[in-house]
Amino acid sequence: MTGYGRAEKNIGDKTFLVELRSLNGKQFDLRLQIPALLKPYEFEIRNMLNEGLERGSVECLINIKQSGASKPVTINTDLLKAYYQSVTTVANEINAPVNDLLAAVLRLPEVVINSTEILSEDEWKQFEKLLGEAIGLLNKHRIEEGKALETDL
């Protein structure tokens, strides 16, 4: 059966969103998109989805939004200095204004790096419950669609 399940929850300083879509199919075929923070748990996530959904072509999208104040970042100062010096030199050669160069250089690749952190055990447990909730909602949607088809036939 086709189905849809969506669950969202604030866990600590993060907002987790799980979206599941399924189409009818005899086998279990999973397309999983997860953020880097959940990569260490990919096997467990796949197992939960397989056990909870059993069959069908399933698409699972998981997003995490982190509050900006708590988002860990690292600034690659060596690269920042090299970019800044190069850009300043070129700007002076072509008589371009140099007043906002720092802001521009901070947006260049690899200058500001989002540090990868690890989920705490409590955050993982809460995420497991959230994933279970999304699976339950998708299965509920499948049952409702099955009943509607039964009525039509």
Phi first, then psi: what are they for 90, rounded to 5°? -65, -40
For range 117-140, the mean pLDDT:
92
Instruction: Kindly tell me if the per-residue pLDDT of 29 is higher than 90.
Output: yes
- Whether 122 and 87 map to the same domain: the answer is no
105: helix, strand or coil: helix
**Total domain count, the chain:** 2
Q: Closest Cα partner for 53 from 25, 14, 93?
A: 25
User: Model-level pTM greater than 0.95?
Assistant: no
CB atoms within 10 A of CB 26: 8
pLDDT in tens, 89-108: 998 999 888 888 888 888 88
Lookup result for tokens 């419950």: 129
Instruction: Kindly tell me if the per-residue pLDDT of 24 is higher than 70.
Output: yes
- Whether 133 and 80 map to the same domain: the answer is no
- Whether 16 and 66 map to the same domain: the answer is yes
- Whether 59 and 20 map to the same domain: the answer is yes
How far is Cα 117 from Cα 12, in angstroms, rounded to an integer?
13
CB of 42 closer than 8 Å to CB of 60: no
Domain assignment of residue 137, given as a range: 3-70+115-152
